[in-house]
Amino acid sequence: MEEVKVDISGDMNVPLTSTKSQFDFASLNQWQKLPSPMEILQLVRKSIRPWSEFINTSNFKTAASMQRLTARFVRNLDYFKSNYIFVFIVLMIYCLITSPLILLVLVAVAAASHKIRQLQASVSIFGHQLSTSHQIMAINIASLPILFLVGAGSALFWTLGASCFVISLHAFFYNIDAIVTEDTEGFLAEVV
Protein backbone atom coordinates (compact mmCIF):
# COMPACT_ATOMS: atom_id res chain seq x y z
CA MET A 1 0.00 0.00 0.00
CA GLU A 2 1.12 3.47 -0.82
CA GLU A 3 1.26 6.09 1.85
CA VAL A 4 -0.82 9.15 1.04
CA LYS A 5 0.36 12.50 2.30
CA VAL A 6 -2.10 15.33 2.76
CA ASP A 7 -0.89 18.85 3.42
CA ILE A 8 -2.99 20.32 6.23
CA SER A 9 -0.81 23.29 7.02
CA GLY A 10 -2.25 26.76 6.95
CA ASP A 11 -3.21 29.78 8.97
CA MET A 12 -6.28 29.94 11.17
CA ASN A 13 -7.86 33.19 12.13
CA VAL A 14 -9.14 32.96 15.68
CA PRO A 15 -12.02 35.35 16.32
CA LEU A 16 -11.35 37.93 18.96
CA THR A 17 -13.49 37.62 22.06
CA SER A 18 -14.02 40.44 24.42
CA THR A 19 -13.70 39.77 28.11
CA LYS A 20 -15.88 42.75 28.93
CA SER A 21 -19.32 41.88 30.26
CA GLN A 22 -22.16 42.54 27.84
CA PHE A 23 -24.53 43.59 30.66
CA ASP A 24 -25.24 47.27 30.91
CA PHE A 25 -27.70 49.22 33.04
CA ALA A 26 -28.93 50.94 29.90
CA SER A 27 -30.09 47.55 28.55
CA LEU A 28 -32.57 47.26 31.41
CA ASN A 29 -34.85 49.74 29.64
CA GLN A 30 -35.73 47.15 27.00
CA TRP A 31 -37.51 45.10 29.69
CA GLN A 32 -40.00 47.93 30.12
CA LYS A 33 -41.41 47.16 26.65
CA LEU A 34 -42.70 43.74 27.73
CA PRO A 35 -46.49 43.50 28.03
CA SER A 36 -47.92 43.60 31.51
CA PRO A 37 -49.71 40.54 32.92
CA MET A 38 -53.04 42.32 32.50
CA GLU A 39 -52.34 42.96 28.80
CA ILE A 40 -51.47 39.28 28.34
CA LEU A 41 -54.70 38.27 30.07
CA GLN A 42 -56.70 40.57 27.80
CA LEU A 43 -55.06 39.07 24.68
CA VAL A 44 -55.78 35.55 25.93
CA ARG A 45 -59.35 36.47 26.79
CA LYS A 46 -60.01 37.84 23.30
CA SER A 47 -58.97 34.63 21.57
CA ILE A 48 -60.48 32.11 23.98
CA ARG A 49 -62.72 29.40 22.49
CA PRO A 50 -66.16 28.68 23.97
CA TRP A 51 -65.92 26.58 27.11
CA SER A 52 -68.88 24.44 26.07
CA GLU A 53 -66.88 23.44 23.01
CA PHE A 54 -63.70 22.93 25.06
CA ILE A 55 -65.33 20.63 27.63
CA ASN A 56 -67.75 18.81 25.32
CA THR A 57 -67.32 15.20 26.48
CA SER A 58 -68.86 13.71 23.35
CA ASN A 59 -65.78 14.83 21.39
CA PHE A 60 -63.31 12.82 23.50
CA LYS A 61 -62.17 9.80 21.50
CA THR A 62 -59.01 7.80 20.96
CA ALA A 63 -57.07 8.19 17.74
CA ALA A 64 -56.84 5.40 15.16
CA SER A 65 -53.08 5.68 14.65
CA MET A 66 -50.03 7.34 16.13
CA GLN A 67 -49.77 9.69 13.15
CA ARG A 68 -53.34 10.89 13.70
CA LEU A 69 -52.70 11.23 17.43
CA THR A 70 -49.73 13.55 16.93
CA ALA A 71 -51.58 15.57 14.29
CA ARG A 72 -54.55 15.89 16.65
CA PHE A 73 -52.26 16.97 19.48
CA VAL A 74 -50.69 19.74 17.39
CA ARG A 75 -54.03 20.96 16.04
CA ASN A 76 -55.59 21.01 19.51
CA LEU A 77 -52.66 22.97 20.92
CA ASP A 78 -53.02 25.53 18.15
CA TYR A 79 -56.82 25.72 18.27
CA PHE A 80 -57.26 25.83 22.07
CA LYS A 81 -54.05 27.67 23.04
CA SER A 82 -55.88 30.44 24.90
CA ASN A 83 -57.99 27.93 26.79
CA TYR A 84 -54.85 26.05 27.77
CA ILE A 85 -53.21 29.27 28.99
CA PHE A 86 -56.33 29.93 31.06
CA VAL A 87 -56.11 26.40 32.55
CA PHE A 88 -52.50 27.14 33.54
CA ILE A 89 -53.50 30.46 35.14
CA VAL A 90 -56.33 28.84 37.10
CA LEU A 91 -53.97 26.14 38.39
CA MET A 92 -51.43 28.81 39.33
CA ILE A 93 -54.09 30.78 41.24
CA TYR A 94 -55.15 27.58 43.02
CA CYS A 95 -51.54 26.93 43.98
CA LEU A 96 -51.12 30.48 45.31
CA ILE A 97 -54.30 30.29 47.36
CA THR A 98 -53.21 27.03 48.95
CA SER A 99 -49.70 28.41 49.72
CA PRO A 100 -50.24 31.42 52.02
CA LEU A 101 -46.51 32.19 52.50
CA ILE A 102 -45.97 32.57 48.77
CA LEU A 103 -49.06 34.76 48.58
CA LEU A 104 -47.79 36.86 51.49
CA VAL A 105 -44.39 37.45 49.82
CA LEU A 106 -46.05 38.36 46.50
CA VAL A 107 -48.38 40.83 48.24
CA ALA A 108 -45.41 42.40 50.07
CA VAL A 109 -43.44 42.76 46.81
CA ALA A 110 -46.48 44.25 45.06
CA ALA A 111 -47.01 46.71 47.94
CA ALA A 112 -43.33 47.74 47.92
CA SER A 113 -43.42 48.20 44.13
CA HIS A 114 -46.58 50.29 44.42
CA LYS A 115 -44.99 52.45 47.14
CA ILE A 116 -41.86 53.02 45.02
CA ARG A 117 -44.02 53.94 42.02
CA GLN A 118 -45.95 56.44 44.15
CA LEU A 119 -42.82 58.13 45.54
CA GLN A 120 -41.16 58.56 42.10
CA ALA A 121 -37.77 59.20 43.74
CA SER A 122 -34.50 58.07 42.20
CA VAL A 123 -31.88 56.44 44.41
CA SER A 124 -28.10 56.56 43.94
CA ILE A 125 -26.21 53.29 44.58
CA PHE A 126 -22.45 53.13 43.95
CA GLY A 127 -22.63 56.22 41.80
CA HIS A 128 -25.45 54.90 39.57
CA GLN A 129 -28.83 56.55 39.57
CA LEU A 130 -31.64 54.01 39.82
CA SER A 131 -34.95 55.12 38.39
CA THR A 132 -38.23 53.87 39.80
CA SER A 133 -38.41 51.05 37.25
CA HIS A 134 -34.89 49.91 38.20
CA GLN A 135 -35.82 50.02 41.88
CA ILE A 136 -38.90 47.90 41.23
CA MET A 137 -36.77 45.45 39.27
CA ALA A 138 -34.29 45.29 42.17
CA ILE A 139 -37.14 44.58 44.63
CA ASN A 140 -38.40 41.78 42.40
CA ILE A 141 -34.93 40.26 42.03
CA ALA A 142 -34.31 40.53 45.79
CA SER A 143 -37.56 38.68 46.47
CA LEU A 144 -36.48 35.61 44.47
CA PRO A 145 -34.46 34.00 47.30
CA ILE A 146 -37.33 34.60 49.72
CA LEU A 147 -39.77 33.05 47.27
CA PHE A 148 -37.45 30.08 46.92
CA LEU A 149 -37.34 29.65 50.70
CA VAL A 150 -41.14 29.67 51.05
CA GLY A 151 -41.53 27.04 48.34
CA ALA A 152 -42.41 28.95 45.19
CA GLY A 153 -40.12 26.74 43.11
CA SER A 154 -41.97 23.58 44.04
CA ALA A 155 -45.32 25.32 43.55
CA LEU A 156 -44.26 26.48 40.11
CA PHE A 157 -43.08 23.02 39.09
CA TRP A 158 -46.27 21.46 40.49
CA THR A 159 -48.31 23.92 38.43
CA LEU A 160 -46.25 23.27 35.30
CA GLY A 161 -46.51 19.51 35.78
CA ALA A 162 -50.24 19.54 36.48
CA SER A 163 -50.85 21.89 33.55
CA CYS A 164 -48.81 19.77 31.14
CA PHE A 165 -50.66 16.65 32.29
CA VAL A 166 -54.16 18.13 31.97
CA ILE A 167 -53.41 19.94 28.71
CA SER A 168 -51.77 16.85 27.18
CA LEU A 169 -54.71 14.65 28.15
CA HIS A 170 -57.14 17.08 26.57
CA ALA A 171 -55.03 17.60 23.46
CA PHE A 172 -54.51 13.87 22.89
CA PHE A 173 -58.10 12.75 23.40
CA TYR A 174 -60.19 15.69 22.13
CA ASN A 175 -61.32 14.96 18.58
CA ILE A 176 -60.79 18.32 16.89
CA ASP A 177 -61.95 16.90 13.55
CA ALA A 178 -65.52 16.78 14.91
CA ILE A 179 -65.69 20.58 15.13
CA VAL A 180 -63.06 21.85 12.68
CA THR A 181 -62.75 20.65 9.11
CA GLU A 182 -60.01 21.59 6.67
CA ASP A 183 -62.38 24.00 4.87
CA THR A 184 -63.53 25.90 7.96
CA GLU A 185 -60.22 25.98 9.84
CA GLY A 186 -59.00 29.16 8.14
CA PHE A 187 -62.41 30.78 8.50
CA LEU A 188 -62.61 30.04 12.23
CA ALA A 189 -59.14 31.44 12.79
CA GLU A 190 -60.20 34.73 11.15
CA VAL A 191 -63.49 35.04 13.05
CA VAL A 192 -61.90 34.80 16.48
In three-state form (DSSP H/G/I as H, E/B as E, the rest C), the secondary structure along the chain is CCCCCCCCCCCCCCCCCCCCCCCCHHHHHHHHHCCCHHHHHHHHHHCCCCHHHHCCHHHECCCCCHHHHHHHHHHHHHHCHHHHHHHHHHHHHHHHHCCHHHHHHHHHHHHHHHHHHHHCCCEEECCEEECHHHHHHHHHHHHHHHHHHCCHHHHHHHHHHHHHHHHHHHHHHECHHHCCCHHHHHHHHHHC
Rounded to 5 degrees, φ, ψ at 125 are -125, 120
Higher-confidence position of 183 and 85: 85
Higher-confidence position of 27 and 155: 155
From 22-36, 41-55, 56-70, the region with the lowest mean pLDDT: 22-36
Higher-confidence position of 190 and 22: 22
Amino acid in position 180: V
Q: Is the pLDDT of residue 27 over 80?
A: no
pLDDT in tens, 131-164: 888 888 889 999 999 999 999 889 989 999 999 9
pLDDT in tens, 49-100: 888 888 888 888 888 889 989 999 999 999 999 999 989 989 998 988 888 9
pLDDT in tens, 161-180: 999 999 999 999 998 888 87
Query: What distance in Å separates the CA atoms of residue 146 and residue 144, rounded to the nearest whole number?
Result: 5
What was the pLDDT predicted at 18? 58
